Structure formats: structure tokens, C-alpha cells
A and B are shown apart, each in its own frame.
Chain A
Amino acid sequence: MLDRKLVRDLWAVKTQVITIALVVASGIGGFIASLSTYDSLKTLQARYYESGRFADVFVQLKRAPLATEQRLVEIPGVGEAETTLVFDVLVDLPEVVEPVIGRMIALPDGREPRMNRLTLTAGRWIHDPASNEVLVNEAFAKARRLGPGDSFVALLNGKREALSVAGVVLSPEYIFAGRSGFADEQSFGVFWMGRERLAGAFDMKGAYNRVSVRLAHGASEEGVIDALDRMLETYGSRGAHGRDEQFSHRALTQEINEQKVFGTVLPSIFLAVAVFLLNVVLTRQIATQRGQIAALKALGCPDFRIAAHYLKFVLVIVLLGIAIGIGIGAWLGRMMTQLYAGLFRFPSPDYTLQAWIVWTAAGAALAAAVAGALNALRAVARLAPAEAMRPPSPPVFRATLLERMGLGHVYSPRVRMVLRDMERRPLRVMLTTVGIACAVAILISGTWWRDAIDYLLDVDFRLREKQHVIVALVEPASSAVIYDLARLPGVLRVEAGRDTEVRLRNGHLNYRATLSGVTGGTEMRRVMGPAQRDVSVPESGLVLNARLAKRLGVRPGETVMIELLEGERTRTSLRVAGVVDELAEMRAYMNADALGRLLGQGDALSYARVRLDLSQRDAFLKQVKETPRIAAALELAPLIRNVRETSGRFILVFTGILSVFAGIIAVGVVYNNARIALAERLWELATLRVLGFTRGEVSGLLLAELAIELAIALPLGWTLGYWLSAGIVELIHAETFRIPMVIQPRTYAYATLVILGAAVVSAFVVRRRIDTMDLTGVLKTRD
């Protein structure tokens, strides 16, 4: 019979039940979506690494004879080793003006590679290893609309060769295909071709320049890396490294970790808000049913059964929330996994929802709900029947703090009503305010990313990089190259520089980074410190990126060991002269002449920055594509456009999801509080209507409290949002770039508008209740 009462009780407050269930559902949904996406990506990664036999250790080198292959396998800890050829070349696509960077990788003749195996998604394999057929990675093929049968031109060792696409493939090595830290599928393509053909083009017959190693079971990666470095040093090794420095692996792992952070931080807030709402509604429910509780007790119903009855009230709401949440979570998880599948290319990117995630979510929600209900339930058990039969004692009010301070005369009785009412229930007011502030914070933490990316691209990047195109040279060249480049059409200014890969070491800490030579008087590449001020690079010593310095555990004034990864692999120790906090770079800088001396190449240059008369861009790029000494040309504008497009897709989805969730929280908090305030004060408000107050005035009294709470909650939410975002950034712990904590006014405005919208909707519902209030009915009964 009590269960029938339960059903009717729930039905009577159905809107509140639904709004709270939706808050629970948002938390559960967010948790399940993020964690199942995390889990799916992690599973896909592990599965693909296994099936594709992804290598553990990689070495890029200048040239080693094939005869040394056997020695690689003999290194203790090496399970398998495979050699191949890898060259970055300039690709000239038909009807595409700008040159594109192509990475050509040799496939073993007549067999499948033993590791980093390819998966064919369209077309066919290469039949003749000596032919001009290539396989192309799917991301690039889709971005550039390349398919089997299409052909294009690539500059192989300075010679323009027409290549034709045989098939489209996926590779565990290029799940994320990019060269810079940004997702840029348009300007970087990966191609595989027959080893015989590639070796012929680059004069590498009987040689290799790239080693992949799979470790033996239980082998130490560090030991293998050391052994490989020792063995391959004489062959121009650029240093062996593990998966942690492999580009695709690092990007994918980073993203997977972000999902984990999102999946645990934000849902906790939802659950906390749900617990608060449940507590408020349950307390109210028990307060209105005092008489019924007393009657049940008087009739001999044991306390635990009555408490269980009200516990069920809570559990039904939470279970409803869990059920909806699982549905939402599974749906969002599938959508997010599919979205990721567009950025991270897996064969059959299946979404899986593990049972443990669902159980954890449901368990956490139930535990939180029971904890939240405990206090109210204890009150039920304690209520003595005789006491419960009487109406609750009239509320005791007193002058507010402001009045006691002597400021009472400054406001009217109506304002006093509102303030005294709020002061009498400080906990609820506080929790409501915090609840709304949480919704604001969630919105900000979900939408400020575009501010960060815009800042990164529009402010930081543009201030730092002032060239239109960076041209990379095939081989380091003398400064004469500047004059050659200056003669190309449309060139306004050329600044050449020198970059080289180094390994920086401090004790047992080491990191592989780019060391850039900096000359005084460069205009197109600035080294910037705080507040975008230029940092001068001294004649001697290094300037390090702040994160790099932190990773190496060095401070200005201390020394680091640098090991060049080309040529003679010179090692030297240098003083850290300064630190710069650059966002998207992990570089080290030193004086260009000093670097030249270190490299033993004088003024040898490896790249040039070019500013163009943009009306002649096409002519310039056309020439570049036909210049054999140029290995690659990277245009800034399309890079920024592509990055913005890719990140925009993600941000749109995340912002959309979080806006809906935050709206649910806001409506849940505001609506439930307004409804309960209305129920508690119905009698009072009806009295005011009888006394001649208009509907507007009465609604105003009730909504004034909401307005005050909003007025406190919004600034609190902005602050909370900033710190929540900063906290998430901290937890995500991006290694290769720093996410700038830049939140634009538009983001605060957006969060504010969504919350105000939710408040207006709730206020409207409450207002309708006031409009339809039965005055004479209310007056007949004492609350």
C-alpha cells in the first residue's frame, strides 16, 4: 500500500522528479560518454597496435648498409627489427597551387612489413615494387580527395616523378597524421611505395635510414635505446626513441587522457548538485507529509519502513536518472568516438561500452543519493507521532544582519521579506547559489577552448610567425640561398635560419627537441617572453622553453648537456641563459653563429622564412614546386585555417553537449528551488494577493530571491569557471604545448545567457503557477 502512495507522491511532483532525474542523467551521461570514449579509444589503440604490430622503438638515421641488419636483431632485448627508407618530399597535387609535404616510406619487396602493418581501405596493394605506384594514408586521401587511379607529382631526390595511387591505407604509425602539433590533414600526406623504386630514386640501394624495433617480452626500452644509439651512431643516427616521442602515439595518448579528465571532473559536479536537489525535495516532501508520517507511526508502522518508503522516493528518481543517463551516455559516447575516428584513423573504429563503466556510474549515483538523503531520513525516524500530528511550529524570524547593523530603514517591507526569508535558510540559499555557479562554471570550462585556440592561432602564433611561407631545404646551404629565394616571384623578404634536432640531457632526464639558431635582426620569427615582449638570445648559452626547462629540471644559470642528432653527434654542455614561456613550442634557442660553429658548418642554413606579395602567391608556389633544393614549403594561412576547422568541429560538439547539461543543472536548481519556495510560501503569497497585490508584485517577491541568487551566482560562476578550466588544463597536463588560460568576454557572456535563459524558463513556469493560484482555496486551510 505504501508503494501505491509512493507512485502517487512521485506523480504529484513529477516535474521536479523529471528535472532532478535529468541532472542525475547529465552526470551519468557525461561520465559514461567520456569514460566509454576513453575506454573505446584506449581499446582501439591497444588492439590496433597489436594487430598492426606497432613498433616500440624508432630510429631515424642517415644511411646504414643492409649488412648491419643482423646486428640489430642481436641487440639484447630486441624481439624483432625491421629497416626501411623514409624521405620527406615535396608533393605537387594536380589543381592544387600550394606544395604539400609527402612522407615516402618504402615497403619491403614482395612481402608484408613485419611491423607497422598497413590496412587497405580502398583500392589494392602495389603489385610491382619497381613501379611508380603508391599507397596513401586515408586522412590525407580524404582531405585531398585522392583515390585509386589518381596520379600526382612528387619531387623524389630533386626529380619530378609522376606517381599513381594504387590504394588507400591506414597505419598504426599514423593514426594521427600531422607533422606539427596541430591536426592538419591537408598539408601532410604519407605514402608507401616499393622499396626498390624508392631506393633507386634516393640512391639507397642496399641501405636503410630507418629502423623499427619491437621489444622482446620483458625487455628494457631504455637499454635497447642505448644499444641502438651506440651501434648506429656512426651511421648518422638521430637518436633512438620510444613511443612516447612518436608523434601519432603522443597525440592520441594525450587526447585519450583528456577524455579521462573530462569524464571524471565534470560528472562529479553534476552528482553533487543532484544530491543537493534530492535533499531539498525530500526534506520538503517529508515536511508536507508530517501528518501522514505521524498517522503511520500511530498505526504501528515501524520507523524503518517509513524511512525505507522515503528512501524509495529518492531511489526511484535516481534510478530514472541512471536509466536516462545510460542511454544518453551510450549515445554521446558513440557520437564522440565517431567524431574521434575522423581525426584518429583506426580500422573499424568500433564503440564499446564496458559494463564496469555503467556499474561504476550507477553505483556512484546511488551512493551519492543515499548519502544525500540520510539526514532527512534520520529526521523521519526521530519524529515522535504526537509531535508530528501537530502542525509544525511557526517559523521564527528575526531582523537581518543589515537591519541589526542599523541599515534596516533603507529598504521596504517587501525587500525585508525577501532578505529575512533568505537569511532564515542560509544553507539552501548558499547551495542554490553554488549550484547555479557550477552550471556557469561548467559552461565556461566547456566553451573557453575556442578562446584558447583563437589566442594560440591569432595572437600568439601570428605575433611569433610573421612569414607567409616557411621553405625547408633538402640539404643545409650557404647564405647564397637567400639570394636565390629572393629572386622567386613575389618575394618581399627572406630570412634564413638553422634548425637542428638535439637531445637535451640533465642527469637522467632527457628530452628531444628542436634547437633553433637565432640571428639578431630577424623580423619574422620572434622569441617571446611574458606579455609578448621579445627575449634576446645571448651570444653564448641557451634559451629554453619554460616547459622544456621544467621537464629537464634546469633553471637559468644551470647547465644542460646537448647532443646534436646529426653529423658528428657532437655533445657539449651549455649554460641556460633564459627561459621563455612559449605556448605551442618545446624549443631551445641559441645564437645562430654559435650553433653554426657547433655544427661545424659555418653559416649553413636549413630553412628560410619568406614574406610574399600575396598577389603573386600562386606564381611563387609554382616555382617552389619546381625547385629541387626545396624539400617542403609550409604556408601559414591554410595551416591556421585547417587547424581552426578541425578544432572547431570538436568544440562545437563539446560546447553543444555541455550547454545542454549546464542548462539542465540550471533549470534543475532554479526550478526546484522556486517550486519549493512557492509551495512553502503559497499561503503567504495568496494572502498578499488577497490584500491587493498584483500577480506581478507577488511573482516579484518570489523571484526576487532568485534574482539575488543569480546576482551572486554569476560572478561566482565566472570565477569558478576560470579555475575549473585552469584545473582541467592542469590535469590534462599537455606536454608539447601549453594551453593559454585566455577566456574571452564572449565566453562569459555565453555562459551567462544560457543560465539566464534557464532561469527565465523556470521563472515563467513558477509565474504560471502563481497566476493560476486558487486564492479562496488557499485561505481555507492553514499550511
Chain B
Amino acid sequence: MEPAAPVPREPVFVARGLVKTYRMGEIEVHALRGIDLDIYRGEFVVLLGPSGSGKSTLLNILGGLDRPTSGTARWREHDLAVADDAALTRYRREHVGFVFQFYNLIPSLTARENVALVTEMAGDAMPPAEALERVGLGDRLDHFPSQLSGGEQQRIAIARAIAKRPDVLLCDEPTGALDYETGKLVLEAIARINRDLGTTAVVITHNASIARIADRVMRLADGRIASVETNASRLTPSEIAW
């Protein structure tokens, strides 16, 4: 395991001139209007911006859920802009861990099974119990989602995302549905994974306070990157408040 700092300057995500327009009913939405970015290996990046600024669209393209209308998006040697559905599925399966605002757990599976669902199809996965241990849920292995709190459910989602040892962890508003204390627990889990496993993490939030725990903060506005800040020193989630 590598230490988190100094940040290695090996770009894993490279995007140039990313444009995404889509139709919502009869309205044409310009979600991304030309994005250039590089994200480096092991980096913790926070995407900040108001709703409608294009954060989720960008994350979806980086995660292989969506394709840009024009421009290039690469993850290492993978061209995400032109890959077909099967290639994108394989990319998500092998390299990406997702965490969503609403956890997206399978209600009919226990915590352990939700994780096992993913580890079953990965090559070099950690045992589900270990992944759950990492997010502090070692004692909740056989609980169903309906028996767990929101924060616990979100931590299962994180365990599920990291159990297959993904190269990148993409989190879309992971604390959006959680209260303050629980949100902190979740952020700590993400930060620890990033630090301990060296997993590149990209986290979307509209909460500026959270930005302090990242290596870099990209602010999006109106489909463009408005600014990029590098935090000289990262805070741990326990040190921040909002």
C-alpha cells in the first residue's frame, strides 16, 4: 500500500473538450459545455457545484454509465467516449466502485450478500466480511437493509464498492440523505479507503465544507469547471464541520 502523499502524478482520468447535451422532454439540456480535466492515481477529488452544474453528468461519464456527446474521456488506455455497452459494463465491473445518495442496496440481500454479489464476479476481491469490517459494520453482516439505519446502509454500499478493490471510487452525494454525524462516519470510511488502499476517489457534493478533506476541489458551474483548488493539507472528516 502506498502512502497518500506525496500525490503521484500519474493521470488516470483524462478528459478533453467534454460536451454533453441531452433532451429532457422537449427541452435541450446542455449538461457539460466543454470540460478538460486530469485526475491522478490515488487522488481524492471533490466535485463541488450547485444542482444542474453538471457534476453528476461528469461522474456518470467517468464511471462509464453515459457517453459524452463530443470530446474525449479516457481512463488509462480505455476510451470511455467511444466504448460500446459491453466494454463499458466490463470497465465498471473491473475498475469502478460506485456509491450513491440513496445507497442502492438490494433489499432482498443481507449486508454480507450485498457485498458478495459484487465480489463473486471480481477477480481479486476481499472477503465480504473484511470489506464490512473496514466500514465498521463487522457486527451487522447478516442484517437486511430494512433492519439498518441510513448511515449503516450507506456504509454497506461503500463496502460493496470497495470489496472488489476497484481502481476508482465514484461517490454521488454519498452524505446527501444522511444526518451530520452519520455523514461524517461515511466520509471517514471513504477517506480511509482512499488512504489505506490508494483508491482514486471522486466525490460529488454541494456541501463546500466537505471539500477540505480532498486533495483537490473542482468547482463546476453551468457545465464548465469554474475553478480548481489544491488543498495544501487535507483534513480528516472528523476535523471538519458543517
Where the two chains meet, the residues of A that have a C-beta atom closer than 8 Å to any C-beta of B are: 394-398, 412-414, 416-417, 420-421, 424, 683-684, 687-695, 775-776, 779-780, 782
Contact = CB atoms under 8 A, between A and B. Distances in A.
A524 B56 CA distance: 88
Given A398-B144, A779-B100, A417 B92 contact: no
A689 B85 CA distance: 11
B117 A414 contact: yes
B118 A397 contact: no
A522 B106 CA distance: 76
B120 A776 contact: no
19 contacts: A394-B107, A397-B108, A397-B146, A412-B120, A413-B114, A414-B120, A416-B108, A417-B106, A420-B108, A688-B106, A688-B117, A690-B65, A690-B104, A691-B117, A692-B90, A692-B121, A694-B86, A776-B56, A779-B172
A694 B89 CA distance: 6
B96 to A, nearest CB: 7
- List 10 tightest A-B contacts by C-beta distance, closest first: A692-B93, A687-B104, A413-B113, A420-B108, A692-B92, A397-B108, A413-B117, A394-B146, A396-B146, A413-B116
B36 to A, nearest CB: 22
Contacts of B172: 779
Contact of A416 (B63, B98, B113, B121): B113
A396 B146 CA distance: 6
Given A689-B89, A691-B98, A694-B86, 18 more contacts: A395-B107, A395-B108, A413-B116, A416-B108, A416-B109, A416-B113, A417-B108, A424-B108, A683-B104, A688-B117, A690-B63, A690-B65, A690-B98, A690-B104, A691-B117, A693-B121, A775-B65, A779-B102
A397 to B, nearest CB: 4
A615 to B, nearest CB: 69
A414 B98 CA distance: 19
A695 B92 contact: no
B231 to A, nearest CB: 29
Contacts of B93: 691-693
Contact of A687 (B86, B106, B116, B144): B106
Contacts of B104: 683, 687, 690, 779
Nearest to B85: A695
A692 B113 contact: no
Contacts of B86: 694
A593 B61 CA distance: 99
A398 B145 CA distance: 11
A414 B144 CA distance: 15
Contacts of B109: 397, 413, 416-417, 420
Nearest to A397: B108
Interface in B109-127: 109, 113-114, 116-118, 120-121
B116 A691 contact: no
Interface of B: 56, 60, 63, 65-66, 85-86, 89-90, 92-94, 96, 98, 100, 102, 104, 106-109, 113-114, 116-118, 120-121, 144-146, 160, 172
Nearest to A394: B146
A688 to B, nearest CB: 8
A690 B92 contact: yes
A412 B144 CA distance: 16
Nearest to B93: A692
B177 to A, nearest CB: 9
A782 B93 CA distance: 23
Given A691-B118, A782-B102, A776 B66 contact: yes
A689 B65 CA distance: 9
A779 B172 CA distance: 10
Most chain B beta-carbon neighbours within 10 Å: one of A394, A397, A695, A780:
A397
Nearest to A689: B89
B108 A421 contact: yes
A329 to B, nearest CB: 43
Nearest to A421: B108
Most chain A beta-carbon neighbours within 10 Å: one of B65, B102, B107, B120:
B107
Contacts of A424: 108
A780 B55 CA distance: 13
B174 to A, nearest CB: 13
Nearest to B103: A687
B47 to A, nearest CB: 16
Contacts of A684: 106-107
A421 B66 CA distance: 30
B147 to A, nearest CB: 8
A23 B94 CA distance: 46
Contacts of B117: 413-414, 417, 688, 691
Contacts of A417: 106, 108-109, 117
B87 to A, nearest CB: 11
B146 A395 contact: yes
A339 to B, nearest CB: 52
A310 B114 CA distance: 38
Contacts of A693: 89, 93, 121
A775 B144 CA distance: 24
A779 B60 CA distance: 11
B65 A413 contact: no
Contacts of B145: 394
B112 to A, nearest CB: 9
Contacts of A683: 104
Contacts of B89: 689, 692-695
Contacts of A421: 108
Contacts of B108: 395, 397, 416-417, 420-421, 424
B160 to A, nearest CB: 8
A691 B116 CA distance: 12
A775 B114 CA distance: 19
B110 to A, nearest CB: 8
B96 A692 contact: yes
Nearest to A424: B108
A783 to B, nearest CB: 9
Nearest to B164: A692
B126 to A, nearest CB: 16
A398 B66 CA distance: 35
Contacts of B107: 394-395, 397, 684
Contacts of A412: 116, 120
Contacts of A775: 65-66
A692 B118 contact: yes
A683 B117 CA distance: 16
A413 B114 CA distance: 8
B98 to A, nearest CB: 6
A688 B90 CA distance: 13
A421 B160 CA distance: 21
Nearest to B91: A692
A680 to B, nearest CB: 11
Contact of B120 (A394, A413, A694): A413
A413 B116 CA distance: 7
Contacts of A692: 89-90, 92-94, 96, 118, 121
B60 A776 contact: yes
Contacts of B160: 691
A397 B107 CA distance: 7
A716 to B, nearest CB: 25
A691 B117 CA distance: 9
Nearest to A420: B108
B197 to A, nearest CB: 18
Most chain B beta-carbon neighbours within 10 Å: one of A417, A695, A776:
A776
A413 B102 CA distance: 21
A397 B145 CA distance: 9
Contacts of B113: 413, 416
B66 to A, nearest CB: 5
A29 B107 CA distance: 43
A578 to B, nearest CB: 64
A780 B90 CA distance: 22
A230 B86 CA distance: 93
A780 B106 CA distance: 16
A779 B66 CA distance: 12
B80 to A, nearest CB: 14
Contacts of B116: 412-413
Contacts of B96: 692
